[in-house]
Structure 1
Amino acid sequence: MARDIPLNRYRTIGVLAAEDAGKTTLVERLLQATRPAAEGTHGASLASPATVCAWRGHQLTFIDTHGAWASTEEVSRILSVVDGVVIVIDAEAGIEDETVRAWALADAAQLPRLVFVNKLDRAGADFAGVLDQVAARFGVRPLAVALPVGQGAGFAGLYDLVHERVVHWTAAGETHDPEVPSELMRDAAQRRKALIQAAVTQADDAAQALEKGVRPDEARLVELVRAGVIARAFVPVVPGSAFRNQGVDSLLDAMVDYLPAPTDLPALRGRAPEGALVERRADDAEPLAALAFTTMVDPVMGPLTFVRLFSGSVASGTQALNSSRGTTEEIRRVLRMHADRREALTEARAGDVVALQGLEATTTGDTLADPAQPIVIERPIAA
């Protein structure tokens, strides 16, 4: 059966932040923004360890990191099932100790990332200052893909440097204006030039064209920025205010445009029972390889084990091998969690993050595999 959404349109994302940077509010706003208009925007929250939503024809799965900061091992395990992260930074407080820890954990997991500079409506907000801090503290190249129009009480919109338009927010939604505000002209020109110069380093033809004065068009620029993010050559930065629901759609667009799909990443590496190195590509036709990363007790469904499928498929009413323990597990039900409901699936496939009901011996960190071609997953874990 054909997929409803192709695997190259999957994004599995973790959101990390210091305690008061606004992560919870941001994730709620992201989920609200992705709900169909007919369903309204109220009641969407990250109540599950993994919540699925849709944006621009893509499947986004947000993996919850809430409450996990007491354990580096737990956060590392959670990050081992995501393909990219968003790090939220308070525009007034700047980089904090927990920001540094989040960045280090993302580095250890070798994850492409975006930065969302939050709370730009607050007095003391300093978008440019945060960019400078990121560059100095982490030794990376932060690239603004948008600039705030005003800051603090004057925060009124953002200027999209990729599509060269101003985004304003009204009660009816976003409005777009091609005119650059006069106070932003110089900074916007400089930042867009820096963005293009960084992006073309990802392709020789683009770099050679720029030397001749030919800039990439919008679609090509998105492709080049995406390549640089996946290669971890630079970090796009989006401004906004989650509390006021400003910049949230732009961040969702950046997730879709720049963060990797499973098909963009190297094959999963693991070990066969005899110790030989084996690989699994992100493909439904490959043997099953899934990692259990957390558990919960659902008030209706009872104990659930959340797994990320890196390859293959798993169906309700079938069995899988727990290759970490050498036991066979019965999979009674496969569930996909949305912000406000559970969806029973006949089958989950490569790239899916789902809850399994019926597992008895499997715990966090265990691998589920095809009994005929077992694998124990090895993932980067922070010390």
Structure 2
Amino acid sequence: MNVYTTDKIRNVVLLGHGGCGKTSLAEAMAYLAGMTTRMGKVTDGNTISDYDKEEIKRHFSINTTVIPIVWGDTKINILDTPGYFDFVGEVEEAVSAADAAIIVVSGKAGIEVGTKKAWELCETYKLPRMVFVTDMDIDEASYRQVVEDLQQLYGKRIAPFHLPIRENGQFVGYVNVLQQRAKRWKDNGEVEKVEVPEYSKENLGICREALMEAVAETSEEFMDRYFGGEEFSEDEIRQALRVNVSDGSIVPVLMGSNVLARGMYTLMVDIVKYLPSPEKRSCTGINAKSNEVYNADYDFAKPKSAYIFKTIADPFIGKYSLIKVNSGVIKTDDLLYNQHKDTEEKIGKIYVLCGNKPEEVKELHAGDIGALAKLTKAATTDSLSTKANPILYIRTQISIPYTYKRYKAVNKGDEDKISQALQKLMLEDLTLKTVNDSENGQTLLYGMGDQHLDVVASKLLERYKVQIELKKPKVAFRETIRKKADVEYKYKKQSGGHGQYGHVKMTFEPSGDLETPYVFEQCVVGGAVPKNFFPAVEKGIQEGVVKGPMAAYPVVGVKAVLYDGSYHPVDSSEMAFKVAALQAFKKGIMEASPILLEPIASLKVVVPDKYTGDIMGDLNKRRGRVLGMNPTEHGYQEIVADIPYMELYGYNTDLRSMTGGSGTFSYEFARYEQTPSDIQEKEIAERAGKLDNTDNS
């Protein structure tokens, strides 16, 4: 592939709800640009961007893919992202590398939750954007409805550029709102000029008015002229659009059919014409030596620096670090320094990835997107620069995973292989993490949702030939006591030669501190138990709190006092007193009104205003206590509640179905509280076999 200078590059991310047509739009654009001889289909599993076996099997995007499309003398780097919320980390990585966005909306499905989330992401990253309405070949598609809904949501920024022309239910052409001219597609894909159909004239008037209003909003002078009834010239309109689409104050709406590859020509022309090249965008980092702000601004004349926005670690195609060059020109054999890891690496070959196909290039200019192979220590969100000018860029904020399941190897002995394979997957996917919960004898896999975890399990089997089983995780209960108990225990054993003798009298009562397992004190008088056996008694308590006598959970908040006992000058030993203390502990806990404690999470649920009633009702069913509500941006409410951990299992799926996918949640550990008696009884019955069994799985 040729080398492109900064002004001839456009980095455009495709965003939108799952199934709205992003991948097939990218496919149609690539076909129209002559990259392929026939268009692939998602259902056939032969598109450029959905190359992963999981994507082919499931018929939806899981990973972000880069497709560099050459259009005239410009390279448009299309970043095709997943639409399903379980793969939001991929979207966040892509948005961090984009300079503009195309929000894809299905003309049939209309505005969906994913459309609004895409808009919010663009607002967060201050990305200029266009809206592209797909599925215009489908009879039920309503472009007009999509435009009206967008205007209702986002006001006068929405500027429709085109109107569809239909004949006998077929999508045959379009009206250019700016030029007020109509064009019709010929069989060979070219267009011919036609008269604006009579039925389109009213709509054209409405859309033209909306476009003019959007242009008028851009300056005081235009506003005065607009209200004075003056017409703007085509050049004035285009100039205003160039400036204002670039700064996000006007959002053009275009439309077409991915299946028929219609509407992509005007889309690509408008991407080049209206969306900014990297040189029009700002980009700042920090110079690690001087601590001063470094304005990279995609300037090719400045010292070289780049940002790793994504990693591919595929056993079949190898490890690639996807970079965006933030300044300078990166060339083969350059030495690049990673300040985060304090390593310098020599760059081998430089690639441009098209789907999963790497193509070698000799250099990458500021603003371009490419890939470096086999960087040993570099990870996603790391910065690369020169050692003389070490630059650090702000790391992309990636969503935190809150859905988790317990996983086990299906085949014994695969544990190490699974651990290594998961490490590789976590290199690629920052929304995936594993936690070793040794206390409950389980390993946990965290992801963005159940579908995400299922895909991970499937990838482990497909890529790495190891199989895991995902199960409901165990909850980390605790045991404690509410009353005081006074117990004694005598351990006496005679078996020829030296015997064993240890005798303790102890009290057990609540310590008032649930953070600490136990407090040990002794107030033995007259040497009933010699001092040298005190540590052995404490060791017995220490062992006892690991696995409580009620349900084999760790014990907390106990004060143990040794106040009396007896010893044998020959048979007493540390071991004997340890055993006596352990047995006294078990007996004492059971006599001191033992209870189970369950972990409580502090939960925050963010949902659109209209769902707050449903959410609070559901939280009550889950034994949650709603503590308050705070309004947030975009008409959302944040509901704050305390909820038992065991009630959070499956919450992600339920929340999405209650809110149509618009709700999100986060939580953190708050404290332990007494478990209700019915749950306590059930838990004790289930754990009965664990009390004598040393295996805590």
TM-score by length of 2: 0.51
- Among candidates 28, 40, 64, match of residue 37 of structure 2: 40
Moved more, 199-208 or 99-108: 199-208
Number of the residue aligned with 1:26 = 25
Indicate how the Cα distance of structure 1 residues 379 and 303 shifts in structure 2: closer, same or farther if over 3 A, else same. closer
State the alpha-carbon separation in 2 of the partners of residues 139 and 200 from structure 1.
Answer: 14
1:208-219 maps to which residues of 2 (within 5 A)?
Answer: 215-219=231-235
Q: Does the aligned pair in 2 maintain the 1:317–1:332 contact within 8 Å?
A: yes
- Report the Cα offset of residue 20 of structure 1: 1.6
Give the secondary-structure state (helix, strand or coil) at the position aligned to 1:59: strand
1:122-141 maps to which residues of 2 (within 5 A)?
Answer: 122-139=138-155, 141=157
Identity of aligned residues (%): 26
State the alpha-carbon separation in 2 of the partners of residues 51 and 220 from structure 1.
Answer: 34
Q: Does the aligned pair in 1 maintain the 2:382–2:395 contact within 8 Å?
A: no
Q: Does the aligned pair in 2 maintain the 1:166–1:178 contact within 8 Å?
A: yes
Give the secondary-structure state (helix, strand or coil) at the position aligned to 1:156: strand
- Report the Cα offset of residue 319 of structure 1: 1.1
Instruction: Structure 1: state its 5+ residue gaps.
Output: none
Q: Does the aligned pair in 2 maintain the 1:124–1:152 contact within 8 Å?
A: no
Give the secondary-structure state (helix, strand or coil) at the position aligned to 2:375: coil
- Report the Cα offset of residue 143 of structure 1: 0.8
Number of the residue aligned with 1:273 = 288
- Report the Cα offset of residue 240 of structure 1: 1.3
**2:97 is the counterpart of 1:55:** no
- Among candidates 315, 324, 331, match of residue 331 of structure 2: 315
Amino acid at match of 1:40: T
Amino acid at match of 1:30: M
Number of the residue aligned with 1:345 = 361
State the alpha-carbon separation in 1 of the partners of residues 272 and 285 from structure 2.
Answer: 28
Aligned residues: 378
State the alpha-carbon separation in 2 of the partners of residues 325 and 279 from structure 1.
Answer: 22
State the alpha-carbon separation in 2 of the partners of residues 205 and 173 from structure 1.
Answer: 41
Indicate how the Cα distance of structure 1 residues 241 and 261 shifts in structure 2: closer, same or farther if over 3 A, else same. same
- Report the Cα offset of residue 223 of structure 1: 2.4
Q: Does the aligned pair in 2 maintain the 1:28–1:45 contact within 8 Å?
A: yes
State the alpha-carbon separation in 2 of the partners of residues 350 and 157 from structure 1.
Answer: 39
Q: Does the aligned pair in 2 maintain the 1:222–1:257 contact within 8 Å?
A: no
Indicate how the Cα distance of structure 1 residues 344 and 180 shifts in structure 2: closer, same or farther if over 3 A, else same. same
- Among candidates 343, 347, 359, match of residue 327 of structure 1: 343
Structure with more relative contact order (C-alpha pairs < 8 Å, separation 6 or more)? 1
Amino acid at match of 2:273: D
1:78-117 maps to which residues of 2 (within 5 A)?
Answer: 78-117=94-133
Indicate how the Cα distance of structure 1 residues 296 and 340 shifts in structure 2: closer, same or farther if over 3 A, else same. closer
Task: Encode CA deviations 1:3-27: one digit per residue, 9 max, x unaligned.
Answer: 9644223110110121121111111
Q: Does the aligned pair in 2 maintain the 1:68–1:75 contact within 8 Å?
A: no
Number of the residue aligned with 1:172 = 188
Q: Does the aligned pair in 2 maintain the 1:80–1:381 contact within 8 Å?
A: no
State the alpha-carbon separation in 1 of the partners of residues 31 and 146 from structure 2.
Answer: 27
Task: Encode CA deviations 1:55-109: one digit per residue, 9 max, x unaligned.
Answer: 1322111123137742434421220100011111111211112222222222221
Q: Does the aligned pair in 2 maintain the 1:25–1:243 contact within 8 Å?
A: yes
Indicate how the Cα distance of structure 1 residues 73 and 300 shifts in structure 2: closer, same or farther if over 3 A, else same. closer
Indicate how the Cα distance of structure 1 residues 229 and 131 shifts in structure 2: closer, same or farther if over 3 A, else same. same
Moved more, 172-181 or 125-134: 172-181
Q: Does the aligned pair in 2 maintain the 1:270–1:278 contact within 8 Å?
A: yes
- Report the Cα offset of residue 352 of structure 1: 1.1
Number of the residue aligned with 1:247 = 263
State the alpha-carbon separation in 1 of the partners of residues 342 and 359 from structure 2.
Answer: 30
1:4-19 maps to which residues of 2 (within 5 A)?
Answer: 5-19=4-18
Moved more, 64-73 or 272-281: 64-73
Moved more, 93-102 or 273-282: 273-282
Indicate how the Cα distance of structure 1 residues 216 and 296 shifts in structure 2: closer, same or farther if over 3 A, else same. same
Amino acid at match of 2:20: A
Q: Does the aligned pair in 1 maintain the 2:139–2:170 contact within 8 Å?
A: no
- Among candidates 238, 253, 264, match of residue 237 of structure 1: 253
- Report the Cα offset of residue 212 of structure 1: 6.6
Amino acid at match of 2:286: R
- Report the Cα offset of residue 53 of structure 1: 1.6
State the alpha-carbon separation in 1 of the partners of residues 380 and 317 from structure 2.
Answer: 19
State the alpha-carbon separation in 2 of the partners of residues 41 and 220 from structure 1.
Answer: 39
- Report the Cα offset of residue 217 of structure 1: 3.7
- Report the Cα offset of residue 359 of structure 1: 0.9
1:196-207 maps to which residues of 2 (within 5 A)?
Answer: 196-203=212-219
Moved more, 371-380 or 3-12: 3-12
Give the secondary-structure state (helix, strand or coil) at the position aligned to 1:202: coil
State the alpha-carbon separation in 2 of the partners of residues 382 and 218 from structure 1.
Answer: 43
State the alpha-carbon separation in 1 of the partners of residues 4 and 72 from structure 2.
Answer: 11
Q: Does the aligned pair in 2 maintain the 1:68–1:74 contact within 8 Å?
A: no
**2:302 is the counterpart of 1:286:** yes
State the alpha-carbon separation in 2 of the partners of residues 200 and 325 from structure 1.
Answer: 51
- Report the Cα offset of residue 138 of structure 1: 4.1
Moved more, 14-23 or 147-156: 147-156
Number of the residue aligned with 2:385 = 369
- Among candidates 306, 311, 321, match of residue 295 of structure 1: 311
- Report the Cα offset of residue 206 of structure 1: 5.1
Instruction: Structure 2: state its 5+ residue gaps.
Output: 41-46, 52-63, 400-697
Indicate how the Cα distance of structure 1 residues 124 and 147 shifts in structure 2: closer, same or farther if over 3 A, else same. same
Q: Does the aligned pair in 1 maintain the 2:9–2:278 contact within 8 Å?
A: yes
State the alpha-carbon separation in 2 of the partners of residues 57 and 209 from structure 1.
Answer: 37
RMSD: 2.7
Amino acid at match of 1:27: A
Moved more, 129-138 or 313-322: 129-138
State the alpha-carbon separation in 1 of the partners of residues 269 and 397 from structure 2.
Answer: 29
Number of the residue aligned with 1:118 = 134
Task: Encode CA deviations 1:274-322: one digit per residue, 9 max, x unaligned.
Answer: 5432211221111122111112247886321110112111111221011
Q: Does the aligned pair in 2 maintain the 1:15–1:86 contact within 8 Å?
A: yes
Moved more, 79-88 or 191-200: 191-200
Give the secondary-structure state (helix, strand or coil) at the position aligned to 1:257: helix
Indicate how the Cα distance of structure 1 residues 228 and 325 shifts in structure 2: closer, same or farther if over 3 A, else same. same
- Report the Cα offset of residue 381 of structure 1: 4.0
State the alpha-carbon separation in 1 of the partners of residues 256 and 192 from structure 2.
Answer: 16
Q: Does the aligned pair in 1 maintain the 2:161–2:211 contact within 8 Å?
A: yes
